[in-house]
Structures are given as C-alpha cells and as structure tokens.
Amino acid sequence: MKFRTLFMKELREMLSTQTILMMVVSVVILTFAGKAMTNAVEDSAETMMDINICDLDDTEFTRNMIKFMTANITSLGGEVNTVEITSDDYAAELKKADVRNVVIIPAGFTESVENNEAATVRYVQRLNSLATLSNMNTGSQVAVEYLTAAVKQVVYNTKVAGGKLTNGEVSFLNEPIHLEESTVVADKSEDISASVVMSLCSAQGMIVPIMMFVLVMMSSNMILNAVSTEKIDKTLETLLSAPISRLSVIAAKMLSAAVVAAMQAAVYMIGAKSMMNGVLDNVSGNTGYSEALRDLGLTMNASQYVLVGLQMFLSILIALSVSLILGVLARDAKSAQTLTLPIMMCTMIPYMLSMFVDIKTMSPAVKYIVYAIPFTHSFMASENAMFGNTDVYVGGLIYQVIFLAVCMFMALRIFMSDRIFTMTLGGKRSKKAEQ
C-alpha cells in the first residue's frame, strides 16, 4: 500500500506533461522523417532498375546484347534507355543527356570478346548528394551482369560448340567484362567508383550535421537558460530597473551568446577540417583516392569552410533569437526545459533527413516544409558548397537572414514591452505579474 502510494507519486512526477509532450513530439518527428524517407526510397526504387546505355561499339553483337538486356529488364519493370555520349567530358555529357548515370560500351568491345580478352565497360554516375539513400541505383551491376551473361552466351555458342576450350578461353569466361567507373560531381569527373566516394565521404557527411545539431541545441539552451533564469530568479527585474536601456541588456545577451557560438562554430570547423584531412590522408593515402576526392571538389577548401561556417553561425543566431523569445515564456525551470522542444524538433527533422535523403529531390510539398525550417539550410551547407549548388546555398542564406531579422524584431518587441514580465507559456499572462 505504502509502496504503491510512493510509486504513484514518483510516476506522476516523472510522467509530466513535458515528458508526454516529448514522447509525442519524438513520434511526430520520426513519423515525418520516416514518411519523407519512404517517399525518397520509393522514388529511387522506381528508377533503381533503369539502365542508360551508350553503345559506342555499335556492332551487331552489341546491338543484340542490348536487345537481350532490354527484354529482360522490361520484364522486371525497368527500362533501358539509349543515350549518346560523344566525349570524355562526362559531366557535360550526362547533363546533355539529362541522366544521372550511364553504362558505356566502348568502341572495340566486340573485338576484345572475339580475341578472348576481357572487354571493358565504363559506368559513369553523377553524385548530387552524399545522403545515404540518395544514390541508390543498381543499374551498373545489372548491366554488367547482363553483358557478362550475353558475352558468355556468345562464347558458349561459338567456342564450346566448336570443341574443347583453351586455357585462355576458360580464364576469359571467368571474367569476360572489366568494369571501369567514373564519378561526376557538379562539373567535374574522376575515375573513381561512386560507392568508394560515398564511403570516403560518409564521415564528413555525418560529422557536419552532428556538429550542427550540437551547436544549435547548445547555443539555444545557453540563451534560453540565461533569459528564463533571470526571469525566474527575478534578477531581470533588478537589471531592467537599473539605469541602462533594455536594448543594451538584450544586445549584451545576444552578443555574448553570439561570440561564444562563433567561437564554438570556428573550433568545430577547424576540428572537422583537421579530422577530415586525417581521415583522407590515412584511409586513402596510397590509393590516389584523396587526390580524386579533391579533384571532384569533395574536400572542402578554406572558402567553402567559411561558407559553411557562415550558415552555421546564422543558424546559431536564429536559435538564439528564438530562444530569447521562448525564454521569456518560461515560468519555472521545468517549463524552460519544455520550451527547448520546438528548437529540438526543428533541428532534428533536417538533421535526420539530410543524413539519409537528398532534400533537394524530395516532393515539392515536403521539400518546402523542410526548407521553411531555417536550420535545414545549414545542414545542407557543406553539401551545397561541395556540389556547387550555389542557387540553393544563396537562397538558403537569404531566407536565413530574413528569418533572423523577423525573429530579432519580435524578440526586441517583446523585450521592450510589458510582455517580458507578463507573458508565460501558452501566451497567457502570468497572474502573479498582474498583481
């Protein structure tokens, strides 16, 4: 009986409105992110089996191979599109053909097969994002498998039917196709597999959003606590009745938080840069991958770090100004904690999405909802800088500046008025303040 009473009391305290709200919010976030990711995966899955092929050999053998491949792929729900590639400038060629990938059968392919030599096939893929689910395509593997099967079929028909195979013909049959891969990023291309690029960049792709998340949450907590504690402890009343302007009080708070946030952003960016340099030097030191990544523009240079740092700083300033408003709403320490929820939600959604999907390619409705969250643009900043998405970067930057100006204006309005003392969570006036 006594234990039950104690247990119920503890449970009631722990299962507060705030705890329940956090659970509900988590479910909402995960559901939204899951739905958005499902849509992205479905979109990718629809085109996953599609093969874009360019036949530069153009012999009866290659034409028959493509027919054979087309029949099989179509029966599996995919498509085989023939595209024209006329130069080695794959970035320009993919753009011209309006495709993200292409399998190229080079001139001399048939001749190599006839000479029992491994025939080369090139697979070129454009990377638009480093998000894990944004580059799902099995076209290359499928194409290589079909080409291998077709070559083997020909060899069996012509050679095996003719009698015993030589040693050379047997080893040729083991690996009749030699796959060469190229990756295109923005207007650059390098002879490196897209999957290798993705693996090498995954650390960078993970670190920046994690840093961003931590920074936004830390800085918003910092100012939210600073304002709510002043209000709860009534030091704010003492401060605002001193012979100083309210603008000075708010400016001092914002500036000091911004200085700390800028220091944090700079430290994190320097740390990230040295970490990435270390990763690239150690992992790909002897393979030439490091140079390939640099040539593709996937290792950020100093100016790109500045651009990313700028958007990160703007996000922090936005978080600070929103927190300033939210801090005013706090009635006590518990409500101050609850007030971090909107910021957490607005940070978690783009954080999760940017790690898994290419936000730019999501359905317009979802995309613009996610774009409306100002922190999204900072999560996308490093990718935008590396992939040369200048329009998206600049658009995001302008939006963030406008959002910041609106938030600052609102924060100032609240701070300069009676609302600083009378507003509480839910928009209702504090009864105590009205006494």
Q: Residue 100 or 231: which CB sits closer to other proteins?
A: 231
Kindly tell me the sign of the dihedral angle through the C-alpha atoms of 123, 126, 127, 133: negative
Q: Residue 45 or 244: which CB sits closer to other proteins?
A: 244
**Angle separating helix axes 341-356 and 302-329, nearest 10 degrees:** 150
CB of 13 to other proteins, least distance (A): 24
Residues 6-35 as b or e (16 or more Cβ within 10 Å = b): eeeeeeeeeeeeeeeebeeeeeebeebbee
Q: Are 334 and 16 within 8 A, CB to CB?
A: yes
CB of 420 to other proteins, least distance (A): 8
The Cα–Cα gap between 275 and 266 comes to 14
The Cα–Cα gap between 227 and 224 comes to 5
Q: Residue 334 or 429: which CB sits closer to other proteins?
A: 429
Q: Residue 178 or 234: which CB sits closer to other proteins?
A: 234
CB of 239 to other proteins, least distance (A): 8
Q: Residue 244 or 306: which CB sits closer to other proteins?
A: 244
Q: Residue 393 or 421: which CB sits closer to other proteins?
A: 421
Among 393, 381, 352, 389, smallest CA distance to 213 is for 352
The Cα–Cα gap between 61 and 59 comes to 5
CB of 233 to other proteins, least distance (A): 3
How many Cα atoms within 13 Å fall on the side-chain side of residue 285?
Answer: 6
Q: Which helix (H) or strand (E) holds 93?
A: helix 90-97
Q: Residue 394 or 433: which CB sits closer to other proteins?
A: 433
The alpha carbon torsion through 200, 203, 208, 210 (nearest 10 deg) reads 160
Beta-sheet pairing, 101-105 with 119-127: antiparallel
Tokens of 92: 């320009």
CB of 236 to other proteins, least distance (A): 9
CB of 328 to other proteins, least distance (A): 14
CB of 423 to other proteins, least distance (A): 12
The greatest distance separating any two alpha carbons of the chain, rounded to the nearest whole angstrom, comes to 105
Kindly tell me the sign of the dihedral angle through the C-alpha atoms of 196, 199, 203, 204: positive
Residues that bind other proteins (CB under 8 A): 233-235, 237-245, 417-418, 421-422, 429, 431-435
Q: Residue 232 or 401: which CB sits closer to other proteins?
A: 232
CB of 265 to other proteins, least distance (A): 25
Q: Residue 67 or 429: which CB sits closer to other proteins?
A: 429
DSSP string, 2-36: HHHHHHHHHHHHHS-HHHHHHHHHHHHHHHHHHHH
CB of 281 to other proteins, least distance (A): 43
